[in-house]
């Protein structure tokens, strides 16, 4: 179990191409859901658990995000000239995040229920786990079609395929990031390495979750929040 608040990495560097015209002149994390920018929904989760520091990586239209975050406790880190994806972006931020296990959040998801970071902190066991991913049962997923990403076995380990959707919230150790030769790479590469070590774990989420990576997800997230009184 982790007793201290983690450092938090917010992934906010993507181009938001699935948002079509909505990201022609603004980055996806600034899109409004229920009167609040997506990145502000995400930052609030970190603030509630007193995460320190909170880092957001930037690439597409970074000036707008820097202006939005000016005066907040969130530190920004530009990825130039190329975007580094989730794994490369996290490794790039390690000098600020520090060597301890870190939490990460995607900035294009909205949660209705308990704070996923708090649940992760309560369940984190570094003696068994290299990563702990929050996963949502398909019946509680909004704004996303298709199959799940993982299934969770009887002892909590994650395996590919199944009816659980990765929600973009996790705690993970970062040592394996140094073993990847590519500058830009997905965290899926690291998860696969952890799975081979039987150290990739999943935590079922008891609430609801919405993918706001596409235009229809905005209304679905707002409906979800209204229905679940969050």
pLDDT digits (tens, 9 = 90+) for 59-111: 999 999 999 999 999 999 999 999 999 999 999 999 999 999 999 999 999 99
DSSP secondary structure of 93-159: HHHHH-SS-EEEEETTEEEESS-HHHHHHHH--TTT-SEEEEEEEGGGEES--S--SEEE-TTSBEE
* CA atoms lying within 13 Å on the CB side of residue 190: 29
Tell whether 175 is covered by a domain: yes
- Give me the CATH number covering residue 46: 3.90.550.10
Average pLDDT, the chain: 96
Tell whether 38 is covered by a domain: yes
Tell whether 103 is covered by a domain: yes
Tell whether 1 is covered by a domain: no
Cβ atoms of 57 and 9 closer than 8 Å: yes
SS3 state at 88: helix
Print the domain residue range for 154. 7-227
Number of domains in the chain: 1
Task: Write down the pTM of the prediction.
Answer: 0.96
Cis status of the peptide bond prior to 62, with omega within 30 of 0: no
pLDDT at 4: 77
By DSSP bridging, strand 131-137 and strand 200-204 are parallel
Cβ atoms of 27 and 60 closer than 8 Å: yes
- Within 8 A by CB and 6+ apart from 213, the residues are 16, 18, 19, 28, 108, 143
Tell whether 2 is covered by a domain: no
pLDDT score of 3 more than 70 = no
Tell whether 149 is covered by a domain: yes
Distance CA 138, CA 156 (A): 17
pLDDT score of 230 more than 90 = no
pLDDT score of 134 more than 60 = yes
Distance CA 65, CA 70 (A): 8
Minimum mean pLDDT range among 10-14, 161-165, 225-229: 225-229
pLDDT band at 175; cut points 50, 70, 90: very high
Cβ atoms of 58 and 78 closer than 8 Å: yes
CB-count exposure of residue 66 (10 Å: 0-12, 13-18, 19+): middle
Tell whether 184 is covered by a domain: yes
Tell whether 200 is covered by a domain: yes
As beta bridge partners, residue 203 has: 134
pLDDT band at 150; cut points 50, 70, 90: very high
pLDDT at 10: 98
């Amino acid at each position: 179990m982790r007793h201290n608040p983690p450092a938090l990495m917010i992934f906010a560097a993507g181009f938001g191409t699935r948002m079509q015209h909505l990201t022609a002149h603004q980055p996806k994390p600034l899109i409004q859901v229920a009167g609040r920018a997506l990145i502000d929904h995400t930052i609030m989760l970190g603030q509630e658990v007193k995460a320190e520091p909170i880092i957001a990586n930037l690439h597409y239209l970074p000036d707008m995000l820097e202006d939005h975050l000016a005066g907040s406790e969130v530190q920004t880190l530009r990825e130039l000239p190329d975007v580094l994806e989730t794994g490369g972006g996290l490794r790039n931020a390690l000098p600020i995040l520090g060597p301890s296990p870190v939490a990460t959040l995607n900035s294009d998801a909205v949660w209705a229920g308990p704070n996923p970071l708090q649940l992760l902190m309560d369940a984190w066991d570094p003696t068994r786990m290299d990563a702990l991913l929050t996963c949502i049962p398909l019946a509680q997923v909004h704004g996303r079609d298709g199959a799940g990403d993982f299934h969770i076995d009887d002892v909590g380990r994650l395996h590919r395929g199944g009816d659980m959707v990765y929600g973009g919230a996790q705690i993970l150790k970062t040592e394996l990031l140094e073993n990847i030769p590519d500058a830009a790479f997905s965290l899926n590469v690291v998860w696969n390495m952890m799975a081979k070590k039987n150290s990739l774990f999943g935590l079922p989420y008891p609430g609801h979750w919405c993918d706001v990576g596409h235009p229809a997800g905005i209304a679905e997230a707002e409906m979800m929040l209204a229905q679940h009184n969050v």
